[in-house]
Amino acid sequence: MKGVTILGSTGSIGESTLDVLSRHPDRYKVIALTANTDIDRLLEQCKQFQPEYLVVADSGAAEKMDVILRGSDQDVKLLSGVAGLEEVASLPQAEYVMAAIVGAAGLKPTLAAARSGKRILLANKESLVMSGHLLMEEVKKHHAELLPIDSEHNAIFQSMPVNFGKGLSKVGVRKILLTASGGPFRTTPLSQLDKVTPEQACAHPNWEMGKKISVDSATMMNKGLEVIEACWLFNTDPDRIQVVLHPQSVIHSMVEYVDGSVLAQLGNPDMRTPIAHALAWPERIESGVESLDIFSVARLDFEPPDYDRFPCLRLAYEAMHIGGTAPAILNAANEVAVQEFLEGRLAFTGISGLIEKTLKDVTPGTADSLETLYEADQQARLTAKGMVNAA
Ligand code: NAD
Ligand code: MG
C-alpha cells in the first residue's frame, strides 16, 4: 500500500488522479489533499477519500474551512499556506506526491517532495521551467524519483531507453519529437486572433484542462514550456527537440534513435493514462481510459509549427538558449499575461508581446539559488503588470 499526497487535488489533474486512485483502493491510500480556495470541492473529496490531512493554501479560505470542519464529523488535520503544502509533501507516510498545483506556486511544495526523497508525479511543469537546475539537483541528491505526468513527457519517458540519464547521445537517441495539437486556433485567420475571447481560448479541441494551461495551449506557450521541461527531464539542449503539430493528439510524442527507429506512445487524449503509468511504474494498472479505436482515428497528420502564428513558442526556445533566470522570467510574464487576458485587460494577441517586452526589460542572471529565481520571478511580474497598467 502506497500513501499518496495530491497537491492541487481540486484541479483537473487532481480530479483525474483521484479517479485513478479510486479504482485501486488495495494499492493506494490518499494521505493528503490540497486546494487553494475551492473548499466545497475539497470537503467533498475529503468525505470520499478520508485523508489524514487537508491543506487550504489561501488563508481566508482556510479560516472558512476550519469553521466548516469544526461543525462536521470529519476527522482530518487542517493546515494552510505554503508551509502546509510543504509539510504534506514531506510526510513519511506519503511515499508518492502528485504535483498538480498550477503555476509557480507549485515550486516550493515540489522542492519539499524532492528533498524528502518522494516519487514525484510531476504535472506542474512551471516548477521545472522556473527552477529546472535546482529541482533536478534536489531530486538527485535525495534519491527522489521524478516521473512526468505531462502527456508528452510521459510518452517520451515510455519511448526512451531506461538509462537515458547518461545523456541522449550516449544511449543512441538522436532527437525528441514533441507533439502539439496546435490548440483551438491552429487554422483561425491571423487577422481574427486579436478578437479571441477567454471562452474560445479555453475550448480546447482534444483535452479538458484548467484555464491557465488551456490558454497556454491556445498560444502554444504550453509547448514552449514543455520544450524547457523536456530539456531538464531528459538532460538535453533545446536543439534536439522538434515540435510537431499533430492535430489528432493520438501520438503523445516520439523519440528518434540513431539507427532511424522512431518510437511513439499512442492513446486516447485522457490524462488518466500518464497518471496511472506514473503511479504504477514499472508495472501497469487500469486507468479507466477507453481502448484507442484506431479505425475511427483513421489518419494521423503532422505539420511543422508556424512561429509567426505562435510567437510564444519561439520566445520559450529563446529563453532556454539564454538560460539562467530567463525561463523563470518567461514563466512569470506568461502567468501575468494569461491572467490579464482571462480578466479581459489584454488581447489574446497581446500575450506574446507582453512576454517579449518583459524578457527585454528584465535582465536575466544566473539561477544559482531559489532567492535569485524568486527575485527574477517577482521583477518580471511587476514589470509585466506595470506594462498592462500603463497601456
Ligand atoms: P487547475 O487550474 O484545474 O487546478 C489547479 C490546482 O492548483 C487546483 O487544485 C487549485 O486549487 C490549486 N492552486 C491554484 N493556485 C494555487 C496556489 N497559489 N497555491 C496552492 N494551490 C493552488 O489546473 P490543471 O489543469 O489541473 O493543471 C495543473 C498543473 O498540471 C499545471 O501545471 C498544468 O500545466 C499541468 N498539466 C495539466 C494538464 C491537464 O490536462 N489539465 C496536462 C498536463 C500538465
Ligand atoms: Mg502536455
Q: Are 136 and 144 in contact (CB under 8 A)?
A: no
Q: Which residues line ligand 1 (CB under 6 A)?
A: 8-14, 35-36, 38, 57, 100-102, 105, 123-126, 150, 207, 209-210, 212-213, 271
Q: What is the pLDDT of residue 303?
A: 97
pLDDT of residue 146: 98
pLDDT at 114: 98
| Ligand 1 pocket mutation pick from 13, 86, 338 by most atoms within 8 angstroms of CB | 13
Residue 311 lies in a domain: no
Q: Are 159 and 257 in contact (CB under 8 A)?
A: no
Domain co-membership, 72 together with 106: yes
**Residue 307 covered by a domain:** no
Average pLDDT, 10 consecutive residues per value, the chain (391 residues): 98 98 98 98 98 98 98 96 98 98 97 98 97 97 98 98 94 98 94 95 88 96 98 96 97 98 98 98 98 97 96 98 98 98 97 98 96 97 97 85
Q: Residue 341 maps to which CATH number?
A: 1.10.1740.10
161: Cβ contacts below 8 Å, ≥ 6 apart: 171, 172, 173
Residue 211 CA: nearest ligand 1 atom is: 2
At residue 205, the pLDDT reads 83
One domain for residues 190 and 236: yes
Pairing mode, if any, of strands 173-180 and 251-257?
A: antiparallel
Same domain for 213 and 194? yes
Kindly state whether residues 229 and 98 are assigned to the same domain: no
pLDDT given for residue 204 in this prediction: 84
Residue 143 sits in a domain of what CATH number?
3.40.50.720
In a shared domain, residues 138 and 170: no
Last residue of a domain, one of 148, 164, 198: 148
DSSP string, 45-97: HHHHH--SEEEE-SHHHHHHHHHHHHTS----EEEEHHHHHHHHHS-TT--EE
Number of domains in the chain: 3
User: Which CA distances in Å does 289 have to 10, 183, 270, 318?
Assistant: 20, 22, 7, 37
Q: Give residue 228's Cα distance to chain centre.
A: 11
Q: Where are the alpha helices (DSSP H) in 309-349?
A: 311-322, 326-342
Task: Please say which residue of 148, 175, 195 terminates a domain.
Answer: 148
What is the model's pLDDT at position 391? 85
State the maximum Cα–Cα separation within the chain, in Å, rounded to a whole number.
65
End residue of a domain, out of 101, 132, 148: 148
Cα gap 277→148, rounded to integer Å: 9
Q: Which of 101, 91, 1, 6 is nearest to 46 (CA)?
A: 6
Query: Measured in angstroms, how far is the CA atom of residue 142 from the centroid of ligand 1?
Result: 25
Q: What is the pLDDT of residue 206?
A: 85
Contact 317, 191 (CB under 8 A): no
* Residue-range definition of the domain harbouring residue 14: 2-148
What was the pLDDT predicted at 207? 82
Regarding whether 350 and 275 lie in a shared domain, the answer is: no
